[in-house]
Chains A and B, each alone.
Chain A
Amino acid sequence: MSAATVEVAWQRVDPRMLLVYPVRELVRFLPVLIGLFLAGTASGRTDWWHGAGIVIPMALGVLRYFTTYFRITPARVELRRGLLNRHQLSTPLDRVRSVDISAPLTHRALGLTIVRIGTGSASKDDEDHLDLDGLPAARARQLRVDLLRLGAPATTGAEPEHLDRVVLRFDPAWVRFAPLTTTGLALAGGALGVVGQAVNTFGGFDRVDPHEVVDSTAGWSAALAVPIGLALLLGAVSALAIGGYVVTNWGFTLTHTGPEHHGAWHLRRGLLTTRETSLDDDRVSGVTTSTPLGLRLARGGRVSAIVTGLGGESRSALLAPPAPRAVVDGVASAVLGTSAPLTAPLSDHGPQARRRRYVRALGPAAVVVVAAVTLVGFDALGTWSLGVVVLLPLAALLARDRAAALGHALVGGHLVARSGSLDRRRDALAVRGVIGWNLRASWFQRRAGLTTLVATTAGGRQRVSVLDVPQDVAVDLAHHAMPDLLAQFLVSPETNHTALRLPDL
Chain B
Amino acid sequence: MPELREPSHRVSPRARLMWATAAAAEGVVLVAVLVVAGPVTDWLPVPWWAVALAAVAVLAYAVGMPVWRYRVHRWEVTATAVYTQTGWWVRERRIAPMSRIQTVDHAEGALARLFGLATVTVTTASAAGALEIVGLPRDRALALVDELAVQADTVAGDAT
Selected from A435, A442, A478, the residue in CB contact (under 8 A) with B90 is A442
Judged by a CB distance under 8 angstroms, whether B94 is at the interface is yes
- Of A458, A478, A492, the residue contacting B160 (CB under 8 A) is A458
Also in contact, A462 and B5, with CB within 8 A (given A309-B160, A485-B80, A488-B78)? no
Contacts of A442 on B, CB cut-off 8 Å? 89-91
Q: For residue B63, which residues in chain A have a CB less than 8 angstroms away from its CB?
A: none
Residues in A with CB closer than 8 Å to B96 are 435-437, 456
Is B124 in contact with A435, judged by CB distance below 8 angstroms?
A: yes
**Closest residue of A by beta carbon distance from B99:** A435
How many Å from the CB of B73 to the closest CB on chain A?
A: 14
Contact B80 A490 (CB under 8 A): no
Q: Are the CB atoms of B3 and A486 closer together than 8 Å?
A: no
Bound complex: CA of A311 vs CA of B90, how far in Å?
27
Q: Chain A residues near B4 (CB, 8 Å)?
A: 439, 475, 486, 489-491, 499
Give the complex CA separation of A493 and B7 in angstroms: 16
Q: Are A491 and B127 in contact (CB under 8 A)?
A: no
Distance between Cα atoms of A446 and B85 in the complex (Å): 14
Instruction: Pick the contact of A443: B76, B89, B93, B159 (CB < 8 A).
Output: B89
Residue of A nearest to B76 (CB): A489
Task: Name A423-451 residues within 8 Å CB distance of B.
Answer: 435-443, 446
Q: Is A308 an interface residue (CB 8 A)?
A: yes
Contact of B5 among A435, A458, A476, A499 (CB under 8 A): A499
A155 at the interface (CB under 8 A from B): no
The CA of A457 and the CA of B89, in the complex, are separated in Å by 26
Residue among B81, B94, B129, B160 making CB contact with A488, cutoff 8 Å: B81
- When distances are taken between beta carbons in the complex, the residues of chain B under 8 Å from A471 are 3
Is B19 on the interface with A (CB-CB < 8 A)?
Answer: no
| B159 cross-chain contacts in A, Cβ below 8 A | 435
Cross-chain contact A435 with B80 (CB below 8 angstroms): no
Decide: A456 and B3 in contact? CB cutoff 8 A. no
User: Which bracket fits the contact residues of B?
Assistant: 20 to 34
Complex Cα spacing A411 to B7, Å: 29
Indicate if the CB atoms of A436 and B89 lie closer than 8 Å: no
Q: In this assembly, does B6 line the interface, its C-beta being within 8 Å of a C-beta of chain A?
A: yes
B97 within 8 A of partner (CB): yes
Residues of A within 8 A of B131 (CB): 436
Q: List, in ascending order, chain A residues with CB within 8 A of B143's CB.
A: none
- Asked, given contacts A489-B5, A493-B1, whether A436 binds B126 with beta carbons under 8 Å apart, the answer is yes
Assembly CA distance A61 to B106 (angstroms): 47
B105 in the interface (beta carbon within 8 A): no
Is A176's CB within 8 Å of the partner chain B?
no
Chain B residues with CB under 8 Å of A457's CB are: 126
B3–A475 contact, CB under 8 A? yes
Interchain CB contact (< 8 A) of B3 among A311, A437, A484, A490: A490
| Chain B residues within an 8 Å CB radius of A458 | 124-126, 160
Chain A interface size, as a band, is 35 or more
Q: Among the listed B3, B76, B97, B160, which residue makes an inter-chain contact with A485, where contact means beta carbons less than 8 Å apart?
A: B97
A441–B4 CA distance with the chains assembled, in angstroms = 13
Rounded to whole angstroms, the CA-CA distance of A437 and B15 in the bound complex is: 26
The answer to whether B2 has its CB under 8 Å from any CB of chain A is yes
Tell whether B92 is near chain A: CB-to-CB under 8 Å: yes
Chain A residues whose CB sits within 8 angstroms of the CB of B70 once the complex forms:
none
Residues 238-280 of chain A: 1 if any B CB is under 8 Å from the residue's CB, otherwise 0?
Answer: 0000000000000000000000000000000000000000000
Bound-complex Cα distance A440 to B95 (A): 12
| Residue B138 CB within 8 A of the other chain | no
Residue contact B2 to A475, C-beta cutoff 8 Å: yes
* Chain B proximity of A307: nearest CB distance (Å): 11
- The CB with the most chain A CB atoms within 10 A, among B2, B4, B6, B94, is that of B4
Contact A496 B129 (CB under 8 A): no
Known: A436-B94, A439-B92. A456 touches B128 (CB 8 A): yes
Report the bound CA distance from A439 to B93 in whole Å: 5
Task: Scan residues 91-129 of chain A and give those whose CB is less than 8 A from a CB of chain B.
Answer: none
Closest beta carbon of chain A to B156's beta carbon, Å = 14
Residues 47-80 of B at the A interface (beta carbon under 8 Å):
76, 78, 80
Contact A476 B128 (CB under 8 A): no
Residue contact B1 to A489, C-beta cutoff 8 Å: no
In the complex, A235 Cα to B125 Cα: how many Å?
Answer: 45
Interface status of A472 (Cβ within 8 A of chain B): yes
B160 to chain A, nearest CB (A): 5
Q: Is the CB of B160 within 8 A of A463?
A: no
| A172 CB → nearest B CB, Å | 38
What is the chain B residue whose CB lies nearest that of A454? B128
Q: Are B100 and A436 in contact (CB under 8 A)?
A: yes
A255 CB, min distance to chain B CBs, angstroms: 25
Name the one of A437, A446, A475, A491 contacting B94, with C-beta atoms under 8 angstroms.
A437
A437 to B93, CA, bound (A): 8
| A85 CB within 8 Å of chain B | no
Q: How far is the CB of B15 from chain A (nearest CB, A)?
A: 20
Interface residue ranges of A293-320 to B (CB < 8 Å): 308-309, 311
Contact call B92/A440, Cβ cutoff below 8 A: yes
**Cβ-based interface call for A400 (8 A):** no
Q: How far is the CB of A288 from chain B (nearest CB, A)?
A: 15
Closest to B92 in A: A440
Closest to B81 in A: A485
Q: Are B95 and A486 in contact (CB under 8 A)?
A: yes
Q: Is the CB of A476 within 8 A of B2?
A: yes
A490 and B94 contact, CB distance less than 8 A = no
Q: A438-B129, A456-B96 are in contact. List 14 more A-B contacts (CB 8 A).
A: A435-B160, A437-B94, A438-B94, A438-B95, A440-B93, A441-B92, A456-B129, A472-B2, A475-B3, A476-B2, A485-B97, A489-B95, A490-B5, A498-B6
Closest A-B pairs by Cβ, 9 of them:
A456-B129, A458-B125, A456-B126, A436-B96, A463-B128, A472-B1, A435-B100, A490-B2, A436-B129
8 contacts between A and B (CB under 8 A): A436-B96, A439-B4, A439-B94, A442-B91, A471-B3, A488-B78, A490-B5, A491-B5
